[in-house]
Amino acid sequence: MCCRPRKVAILTFSGAVHVCSDVGFVGLGTMGGRMAERLQQAGHRLVVYNRSVDKSAPFAARGARIAKQPAEVTKNCYVVFSCLLDDAAVKEVYLGANGLLTHATERHVFVEHGTFSPEVRSQIADRAALVGATFLDAPVTGGPEGARAGTLITMVGGVESATDQVRSLMLEYSRDVVHLGDGGAGLRLKLINQFLVTTHVVSAAIGVNLLRSTGLPVEESARVLEGGWAASTMLRRAFDAERKQDNTSCGAPISALISVSGPIASELASAGIDGNFFAAAKEILTQAAEGSDVGVDVSRLSAHLEMAGNQDD
């Protein structure tokens, strides 16, 4: 049950968000599901769509309408958020038969929170523009914990006035919404973010492995490393996992990093930056993913590197 009277939002011709219509959300995975849940908890009435219907059931139980196709969301909502996995999913949901843009009009604002290629963004934005609809690329950072707590940071590319119109909705699951410029700006920063996360994950895992091999005490070493220049979110998570000796996933599999490695490599190449360092990090992640029957969590990479090393002995 919502703790406040239900409220819903609509983007009108005047450019304001008024209380009168449903909000759409497409993609109820690890991130999107938590973001949509926060919208629902805040009192917004949702129309949701997910390719696997079972993830929609909890929202229906709390009063959301379940769409059978993405196009049905667009028919019922002028503001539609989505959080999709990759290029293929984004293209299918937006541009496919019965996709979100099938019934789009000049009143619609679409906000995609996933990480995908700038090329696909251009295809969707161009198609939306043909009917006067607005498309914002708005990736997020903060992980599943941030989505659950409402502390994500959302980076937006696209029309600034449209960003302002839906900002209050994004703040239901974000602690900050930063408009960065024209279409694609949010995605470009997210790819830089994912480059840093990828290399930090691998560096932290190797560092913890090196520490383990020396026999140095974990707690005292962590206190030093996390208190100085070596500190990072990924190092903290690696140490937390080392302390717990727990393979439980926190919802951040390394497969998600691997899935966006192509666009990151393309950005590096376009900028004339040597991508060998990133390629080496990606290869380590790929080998860990291939050697596991289940998704390897980013915080547990060091354990998988240790197992791989033991197998080589």
What is the set of active-site residues? 190
Q: Which residues of 204-239 are buried (b: 16+ CB within 10 A; e: fewer)?
A: bbbbbbebbeeeeeeeebbeebeeeeeebebbebbb
Q: Which helix (H) or strand (E) holds 154?
A: strand 152-157
How far is it, in rounded angstroms, from Cα 138 to Cα 15? 19
DSSP lists the bridge partners of residue 178 as: 155
* 254 in Cβ contact with 234 (< 8 Å): no
DSSP lists the bridge partners of residue 185 as: none
How far is it, in rounded angstroms, from Cα 256 to Cα 274? 23
* 133 in Cβ contact with 158 (< 8 Å): no
Backbone region of residue 63 per phi and psi (left: phi > 0; alpha: psi in -120 to 50; beta: other values) = left
Q: What is the DSSP letter of 253?
A: B
Q: What is the DSSP letter of 27?
A: -
Cα distances from 250 to residues 7, 98, 237, 247, in angstroms, run 31, 33, 10, 9
How far is it, in rounded angstroms, from Cα 170 to Cα 11? 14
